[in-house]
Structure 1
Amino acid sequence: MQPVINYLNTNSGEIINSLGQHLTISFIAAIIAILIAVPLAIILINHRKIGELVLQITSVIQTIPSLAILGLLIPLVGIGTIPAIIALVLYALMPVFANTYAGLTNIDPLLMEAADAFGVSWRFKLFKIQIPLALPMILTGIRQAVVMIIGTATLAALIGGGGLGTYILLGIQTNNNNALIVGAVLAAALALIASGLIRLLAKVPLKYLTFAIIGIFTLAGIGWGVKSLEFQQQETITIAGKMGGEPEILINMYKDIIENDQPQIKVKLKPNFGGTSFLFKGLQSQKIDVYPEFTGTVLQSLVKTDKAIPHRPRLAYQQAQKLLQSQYKMTYLAPMQYQNGYAVVVRRSTAAKYHLHTIADLTQFPALKAAFDPDFYQQSDGYPGLKKFYHLHFQNVKTMEPALRYEALAKGKVAVTDGYTTDPQIKKYKLVVLNDSRSFFPPYQGAPLVRTEFARSHPQIIKSLNKLQGQITTKQMQTMNYQVTVQHKKASQVAHQFLQQHGFLVQKSSKR
């Protein structure tokens, strides 16, 4: 447990922020679901056929995989918290509506007949008889919905919604069990606490329960207002990064350089925001202002082109820059020196035994066991292209998740795997990157990507970001990745230390 405790202490600020995001998303989704499902059930008390139809519809929604719902919502409402909340509301409707409807329609008919005989109004009958009698079932439905919402909200991290799912995904991608345990345990604990609180609410008289709900809404509104005022006091720009340690290092560098040059600007970071498509859509929809992207990724995944990807880094960048501007009105700033491109990796002992120096040397040893990332195994710039280009044909090839393939290589279960040139595992396991002597792999140089409109209105920010042009070697980035991923240092500290050591920060930031 000590490594988990150390991880909690080291990342306490970020974890608390993710916990707050998780609570916010879950709270908003639960309130919206209750405000829709409970009144709808009340309206349909005397319309049984329509009530059964609504019950069937909400049940069908529950059978749709959550990832499918998120995928359908992205083209309509973009990425971030909004599609995550909508998906959670859709999932929560069924338990809240079903229990409320069942509770209201299964009240003893004799009680209802007695109320009618006394000539009470429908309002009196609803609030003094029906709702109090149905309240235990209503709260049961709400409890089920809240527990489900908190658990499902971890998927919000897939579309840049934040929350505790960020640590679960980060743990899976980087093979960091500490992050995985923190995310999973906190989400489970949050669900149990919420369930227990709702159980306690079932014992509270209805009128006090009403006051409690009003108080919660009031406090939430005050908190939201204070937060909005804080952001209005100074200009805020949002910088996001993909999953993993390296993108987090880069966005912290961007933040430090911008705030060092222009203290009046507040930079908001969104680390582990999601994959390439989510970040690009976030940039288009103005949910984020800057994110680091790689030339090879731009040319293969973002822009439309019939041209082959140039193998010279400068030409690849120029092509990516031109296409981003013409197709999307995006400005691609000048790249850094290092490349985070594909690589073929072996153990040092394997390289020595078979005298391996280049990828071409592997053609003489087809019996070596290979394990590749599923994407690398299928993509044209991965193993399929590598086979044709180098005439490379392994007799035994497996696909393996990125976090596991290095471990399998280090333990001798496989002899060859793919990787990225800045992966910290290369340093950790003292592996050998075989030279791509014929330049098969396309260039992957990182650079800030912004909307052209943003670049024109923020020339000083662009000037600050351009300080990283041609800076940071592959070895330097690999070392920083090692510090974050293997030694579990905070990305913000590693980035700040590098910038200070290399003279990028003229004066020490007052916020540190």
Structure 2
Amino acid sequence: MNNFVNTLVERKGELLNDTLQHITISLSALLLAMAIAIPLAILVVHHKKVGEILLQVTGVLQTIPSLALLGLLIPIVGIGSVPALIALVVYALLPIFQNTYVGLAEIDPAIEEAAVAFGMSRLRRLIKVEIPIALPIIISGIRSALVLIIGTATLAALVGGGGLGNLILLGIDRNNTALTLIGALASASLAIIFSALINLLQKAKPRVTGLVLVALICGLGGYSVYQKQAANQETITIAGKLGAEPDILINMYAQLIKAADPQAHVVLKSNFGKTSFLFNALKSGQIDLYPEFTGTVLDSLVKVPQTVDKSKLTANETYQEANRLLAKQAQLRLLAPMAYQNTYALAVKQTFATKHGLQTISDLQKVLPQIKAGFTLEFIDRADGYKGVKAKYGLTFPSVQGMEPSLRYEAINQNKINLIDAYSTDSELARYGLVVLQDDRQLFPDYRGAPLMSQAFAQKHPQIVTALNQLAGKISAAEMTAMNYQVNVKKKSAASVAQNYLVKHGLLKGDN
């Protein structure tokens, strides 16, 4: 309980910001869904066949898995709040359309005939008779849609859309139950509160309901204007992949930039997503820079000429080739890398390695039938990951499960799996008593991290390039592992760990 309270106090700023983001995207999606579904239901209510078809269509849309829908939207509209907003609108259409359609269709024909007898026009009947009678059912559909939206909106964090999903994902990644619980409880609380408010509207007069909707639209509109005005000031957006290490690095970047230019407005987007998300976000201008690794560039982000043998490149040659191809193919620039290697690795428990005499990846051939692997989805799909293991080592494991990064460590600790992919600087290796198997056939390339940005950004901000280049050749593997341990195990904030390193090594003044 103390851990929960301490985490709540420590993260209150993030909780407030994420809650506001969650409310904004949820209510925006609700209003858009209402603007589509309600008029559509009104138009087709007297055309039964068309209405039935639309009910089927909205029903089918709601069955599309949320992750699949987000994946389909990203190539079209990019990442951020837009794909999340579209997905939420899609899911909200069915309950609103269905209840509006049913509410209007089931009005007593005698009432309709009386309204016609009084000489009411179609529009007047709709406003004065039909909508007021159907309003309780319509609002019930709106309430169902909003509860659905608020729960589903946590997935927005997977595509950089913000909201309370940030806290949930961060808690999962850091194995911080309190943080995950705070995000989940906040989301559930929002659903309960807004459901109760809509329930009150259901009992109110139509005029009151209309005024509330107008106030809601004005409020969201005002907030959007405020955000646009705030965006007039140039913002330097730094994003990081999932995990403690990227979080530490982006905090270092931010602190170095602020030290070089105290007026700079820096926004951090930690746990922004996987490699492809960040790379696409950088190319589309949604973020300005993020930490990337030389080996990842050559294996996943650029097309390497067939004349280049990546396995024979030195660490410096890997960086030079990665930077050259980024500039040529994507107009991006990778700054000078840090010292430590954060290469991929395969790891097993020390007890398992000792029992079966495992020292190298090739040794896994001896226990191949016993292997139960848990790999990240990214590792499974990469040429320098499981695909490379199969090609270079001839190892096809009988059981391979795709897992989120932090979950695979929990799984191997509980003996549900016995082989995982890891990064060589992961603090969990020591925490869970794991041993890294030697890459005896040199599958995994050189991985040194450095800030990746567009060439245009680098040219426009030479002072930022100078500030970030202070990290070139710095941070040993032992230092990075120790910092990861401070965040993951000691539960220290990435910002404080980053600051301590920079101050200790004279890159930042102690009072910054």
State TM-score, norm by structure 1.
0.90
Whole-Å Cα distance in 2 between the matches of residues 216 and 420 of structure 1? 47
Equivalent residue, structure 2, for 1:427: 430
Equivalent residue, structure 2, for 1:323: 325
Whole-Å Cα distance in 2 between the matches of residues 159 and 225 of structure 1? 23
Moved more, 272-281 or 46-55: 46-55
The Cα offsets for residues 250-308 of structure 1, whole Å up to 9 and x where unpaired, read as 11111111011111210011111111111111111111111111112111111112343
Cα offset, 1:349, TM superposition: 5.6
1:484 matches 2:483: no
Evaluate the alpha carbon distance shift between residue 242 and residue 383 of structure 1 in structure 2; reply closer, same or farther with a 3 A threshold. Answer: closer
The Cα offsets for residues 320-378 of structure 1, whole Å up to 9 and x where unpaired, read as 11111111111111111112111243445666777876656777777985644255566
Paired residue type of 1:8: L
The Cα offsets for residues 142-172 of structure 1, whole Å up to 9 and x where unpaired, read as 0111111111112212211122222333344
Identity %: 50
Equivalent residue, structure 1, for 2:24: 24
Moved more, 148-157 or 344-353: 344-353
> Are the counterparts in 2 of residues 283 and 451 from structure 1 also a CA contact under 8 Å?
yes
Evaluate the alpha carbon distance shift between residue 330 and residue 100 of structure 1 in structure 2; reply closer, same or farther with a 3 A threshold. Answer: same
1:83-482 mapped onto 2 (5 Å cutoff): 83-232=83-232, 234-305=233-304, 306=306, 307-310=308-311, 311-348=313-350, 371-373=373-375, 375=377, 376=379, 379-382=382-385, 385-386=388-389, 399=401, 401=403, 402-407=405-410, 409-410=412-413, 417-436=420-439, 439-482=442-485
The Cα offsets for residues 456-488 of structure 1, whole Å up to 9 and x where unpaired, read as 111111111111111111111111111111222
- The unaligned stretches of length 5 or more in structure 2 are none
Paired residue type of 1:446: G
1:495 matches 2:498: yes
Moved more, 178-187 or 474-483: 178-187
> Are the counterparts in 2 of residues 371 and 405 from structure 1 also a CA contact under 8 Å?
no
> Are the counterparts in 1 of residues 95 and 141 from structure 2 also a CA contact under 8 Å?
yes
Evaluate the alpha carbon distance shift between residue 149 and residue 397 of structure 1 in structure 2; reply closer, same or farther with a 3 A threshold. Answer: closer
Whole-Å Cα distance in 2 between the matches of residues 442 and 298 of structure 1? 11
Evaluate the alpha carbon distance shift between residue 284 and residue 124 of structure 1 in structure 2; reply closer, same or farther with a 3 A threshold. Answer: same
Whole-Å Cα distance in 1 between the matches of residues 114 and 391 of structure 2? 84
Paired residue type of 2:432: Y
Cα offset, 1:403, TM superposition: 3.1
- The unaligned stretches of length 5 or more in structure 1 are none
Paired residue type of 1:319: E
Evaluate the alpha carbon distance shift between residue 369 and residue 46 of structure 1 in structure 2; reply closer, same or farther with a 3 A threshold. Answer: closer
1:42-121 mapped onto 2 (5 Å cutoff): 42-121=42-121
Whole-Å Cα distance in 2 between the matches of residues 53 and 413 of structure 1? 47
Moved more, 288-297 or 397-406: 397-406
Moved more, 22-31 or 366-375: 366-375
Paired residues, number? 507
Whole-Å Cα distance in 1 between the matches of residues 390 and 303 of structure 2? 25
2:203 is paired with a residue whose SS is: coil
Evaluate the alpha carbon distance shift between residue 421 and residue 134 of structure 1 in structure 2; reply closer, same or farther with a 3 A threshold. Answer: same
> Are the counterparts in 1 of residues 295 and 445 from structure 2 also a CA contact under 8 Å?
yes
Whole-Å Cα distance in 1 between the matches of residues 95 and 71 of structure 2? 23
Cα offset, 1:398, TM superposition: 5.4
Evaluate the alpha carbon distance shift between residue 208 and residue 341 of structure 1 in structure 2; reply closer, same or farther with a 3 A threshold. Answer: same
Cα offset, 1:222, TM superposition: 2.9
> Are the counterparts in 1 of residues 376 and 421 from structure 2 also a CA contact under 8 Å?
no
Evaluate the alpha carbon distance shift between residue 439 and residue 135 of structure 1 in structure 2; reply closer, same or farther with a 3 A threshold. Answer: same
Whole-Å Cα distance in 1 between the matches of residues 62 and 387 of structure 2? 40
State TM-score, norm by structure 2.
0.90
Paired residue type of 1:287: Q
